[in-house]
Structure 1
């Protein structure tokens, strides 16, 4: 965003009193309080849904010093939860730049619609803040490199919220595949769920005025201007191209990420992808109901990715098929084609190993989330590279985006993972970037 626009926002927030529900005296006292030397002080940008009390707030609860959201309902709910859970308050604002400008915060958690990820992450790095940015890291492939460059230039720790990278069952399957337990990998199958738009929206509704207390124009940010519709915002943003990429970039950012990890492709990717899609017959949302995609890697591995409505949670995941057998991993466990495959590695606790099956006890179902956030906090202190470094998040998001480009364009996409370009298709290359609404700019 331009310096002029930044000054405009800060001027607006100062005049309008954007720090809601807290006096200037309380604000200064909150941020002036000396923090323990080992405590990483965090500002939450976005506290609804994934960023709210049922998700990220829980995992950062002991580090939260400030919270930001454009919906006063979410801010009120988050403040009440912080008081109940931790017995304290935080600075509340609807202008994230206040958090970036504070010298009393070490890091920010970016949990907002995807169209904002690049701008907020880059600005946070420029402001000297470490960043935990939710997945998918980008809205389009072309945003990834500028984000990485900002992180490296300003020496920032940036963790992508692909928390399966910290899940024991996923680490185990990666060890199995890379150790050769299933032999040379020939094929990978990734299964994604269908969209859950209808679970939340029920049916279509007409456009309307935004509700009081929700700044819809700033919520849109760099996305195209359009009338407010309650079925396009908050969780439902995931199913509209202006803000996200459907389940391909939602669950795909998890399960395709594990495929990349297992194949040792964290600094590379496929060389081609083609596919087809089926869309909602009523046009209630834009992203696909079903997809079938075929990726090809230079080492000969074929990866099939399918989005299938009605797929049970324990059938959503990543399967590696090798010359000696196969292994399938989902959130909660993995199953090998034979018990012999699991004898080659040590199964860590609290995973439970029985024959060819490994499961994570229900009591540990949040293990990956907790471990992933702790990994970020630890890396902020040590300055080490986090489990899902921004470069990994970019490469995994790229795989997701390439699949969407293939089904939207109706073409086979040939990809050069070294130069990160679409080969021999000038029209296809246009999908790599997206115009930002003025006056927003990535530069």
Structure 2
């Protein structure tokens, strides 16, 4: 456990890590003063990785890494074209972490790789931007927090809704009692899009020549290659991810935690049901209906898939309702719609302000202030997502101790808090 209070994450100014300010060498020419540039390596540059690369390619990107040669070549070419520099190109992330001329890394791999790479990066002295969901299982998240703290690293979780004005406003209003006492929260997560992306299953086959499939699997159990299980589609198989519950839950359940002031805690009971693809084309739920209850009695009703709650987060209070999703916030007070929610005064509780999630990470690398979605916050939000999946997978009500981070009274369910890794991979 951490040797200091997690409440320090809740202040608007954030916490400062107790270490000297880092000075970065001028890697971009003699005219670039020290500390002006952070040299960033990108681990995973396909799909979401291309989006993350775009935030840094012109000024910061110096290395790219991917197990797919096609993705790797495209990323390298982009850095040369847009960044006007020739990047380091590697297939194995460990070669990136070994380099002294890389200050920080962006991890945009499948979820089953997040913890191992982030922990290793922290131990190698690199700051980290890790995509959401932070972890594959709960125990990994705590290991990531510990690695960040022990090595005094800045780790931003990619739950970027915390850097959008509508979510900041909604949570600040809730935290200041604008809609009174919270009575319920509704969360609506989208249906899985495996069928939309994959169309239909195909037989297992030999992996394509451009993909190092053994390295793609890494710590995951050995299984035959199937083109409908890799790249974007990995997120619908338990060995690699947790479906939409962890994919979009890492956004909207994260906002729920922020609004409820639970960034250092979580629910105490979790129960739910789910349906699964009748043809077993993919493994994670097609629909789910989960209720999280917090120690203060507030229930969070989370649905996944068709026929569920409105997409986004709805905070219900005894004086009004706040509904927020990407690009939209609606506030109703005493039955009347508020014309412009942004003009509403909030109160004394001021939440961390970030208007650019990726820039916030760079700024915090220089200041050593904890970022808007620090690793502890990302871990706690991912934990909520994982607990929902544990409940629907076991078919039982889960009792959770958020202080000890333990499932209470259910040894079988507790096994899903951690996982075994394929040799020789270890979380160390």
TM-score bucket of the superposed structures, by smaller chain: 0.7 to 0.9
Which residue, 265, 268, 271 being the options, matches 1:268? 265
Q: Which whole-Å CA distance do the structure 2 matches of 1:382 and 1:390 have between them? A: 17
State the alpha-carbon separation in 2 of the partners of residues 402 and 114 from structure 1: 16
Are the equivalent residues in 2 in contact too, given 1:177–1:320 (CA < 8 A)?
Answer: yes
Alignment partners' CA distance in 2, 1:63 and 1:170? 28
* Residues 32-431 of structure 1 mapped to structure 2, 5 A cutoff: 36-37=33-34, 38-52=36-50, 55-61=51-57, 62-309=59-306, 315-337=310-332, 338-340=336-338, 342=341, 344-345=344-345, 371-431=356-416
Question: In structure 2, do the counterparts of structure 1 residues 370 and 262 end up closer, same or farther at CA, with 3 Å as the change threshold?
Answer: closer
Give SS of 2:360's match: helix
Is 1:255–1:317's contact at 8 Å kept on the other side of the alignment? yes
Q: Is contact 2:165–2:355 with CA below 8 Å preserved after alignment?
A: no
Unaligned runs of 5+ in 1: 1-29, 347-367
**RMSD of aligned residue pairs (Cα, Å):** 2.0
Q: SS state of the match for residue 400, structure 1?
A: helix
Higher helix fraction (1 or 2): 1
TM-score normalised according to structure 2 size: 0.88
Residue by residue over 1:130-177, the C-alpha shift from the partner in whole angstroms, topping out at 9 and shown as x without a partner, is 000000011000111111111111100000010011111110001110
SS for the counterpart of 1:104 is: coil
1:374-418 Cα offsets, whole Å, 9 max, x none, are 000000000000000000000000000000000000000000101
- SS of the residue 2:148 aligns to: helix
Q: What is the rounded CA distance, in whole Å, between the counterparts of 2:68 and 2:307 in structure 1? A: 32
Count residues with an aligned counterpart: 390
Q: Is the 8 A contact 1:163 1:369 kept in 2?
A: no
The Cα shift of 1:311 comes to 7.8
Q: Once the two structures are superposed, what CA deviation does each residue of 1:266-320 show, in whole Å capped at 9, x if it has no partner?
A: 00000001011111111110001100001101111000000123889xx421110
Distance of 1:97 and 1:423 partners within structure 2: 37
Cα separation, partners in 2 of 1:229 and 1:33, compared to 1, 3 Å? farther
Higher mean displacement: 302-311 or 55-64 = 302-311
Distance 1:416 1:78 in 2: 43
Distance, in Å, in 2 between the alignment partners of 1:79 and 1:399 is 37
* Aligned mates of 1:168, 1:373 — CA distance in 2: 15
Identify unmatched segments of 5+ residues in structure 2.
Answer: 1-25, 347-352
**TM-score by structure 1 length?**
0.85
Given that residues 186 and 323 in structure 1 are in contact (C-alpha distance below 8 angstroms), is that contact kept between their aligned partners in structure 2?
Answer: yes
For 2:413 and 2:317, locate their aligned partners in 1 and report how far apart those are by CA, in whole Å.
33
> Is the Cα contact below 8 Å between 1:194 and 1:310 reproduced in 2?
no
Give 1:33 deviation, angstroms: 6.1
TM-superposed CA distance for 1:105, in Å, is 1.1
What secondary structure is seen at the aligned counterpart in 2 of 1:374?
Answer: helix
